[in-house]
């Protein structure tokens, strides 16, 4: 990971990301509900940013929300940044990778899920890579 990830140009990002990854990470897109490869995935390990490789979430904080996207009740401390998002006439909290600024999804609070934080990080599978605990270097 280089220190310049945050200043990459769109052209540089297009060269390293797939069209779907570029649309979601750099243009704040959303994958269709229920299509993500990690929604019902139950491996033990770490989810990293597909843009820069920074660890963002661990499988210990993943839960089945039924919302159509992977859901986590907490992020690895400092890995995820929050921003107010007023697009589409709603007030939501956008979450991005702190290291590269890539769009991950949104965080919702107080929905009543039986988790330690009562928060749901609703993350696009496209924004994530999974690293199995057994395959760590």
- Annotated catalytic residues are 122
Q: Which is nearer to Zn ion, 52 or 95 (CB)?
A: 52
Which residue ranges make up the site for Zn ion (CB under 5 A)? Answer: 49, 51-52, 54, 97, 99-100, 102
- φ and ψ at 118, to 5 degrees? 55, 35
Q: Are 46 and 79 in contact (CB under 8 A)?
A: no
CB of 62 to Zn ion, least distance (A): 18
Q: Which is nearer to Zn ion, 95 or 100 (CB)?
A: 100
Helix (H, G, I), strand (E, B) or coil at 60: helix
Q: Are 73 and 115 in contact (CB under 8 A)?
A: yes
CB of 107 to Zn ion, least distance (A): 16
CB of 27 to Zn ion, least distance (A): 15
Cross-strand pairs, 48: 55, 129
The residue written with tokens 């609703």 in the block is 122
């Amino acid at each position: 990971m280089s220190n310049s990830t945050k200043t990459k140009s769109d052209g540089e990002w297009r060269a390293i990301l797939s069209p779907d990854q570029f649309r979601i990470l750099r243009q704040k897109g959303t994958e269709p509900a229920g299509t993500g490869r990690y929604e019902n995935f139950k491996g033990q390990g770490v989810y990293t940013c597909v843009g820069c490789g920074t660890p963002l979430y661990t499988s210990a904080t993943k839960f089945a929300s039924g919302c159509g996207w992977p859901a986590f009740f907490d992020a690895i401390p400092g890995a995820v940044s929050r921003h107010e998002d007023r697009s589409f006439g709603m007030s939501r909290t956008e979450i991005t990778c702190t290291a590269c600024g890539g769009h991950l999804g949104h965080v919702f609070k107080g929905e009543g899920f039986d988790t330690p934080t009562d928060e749901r990080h609703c993350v696009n599978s496209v924004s994530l890579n999974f690293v199995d605990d057994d395959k760590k270097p």
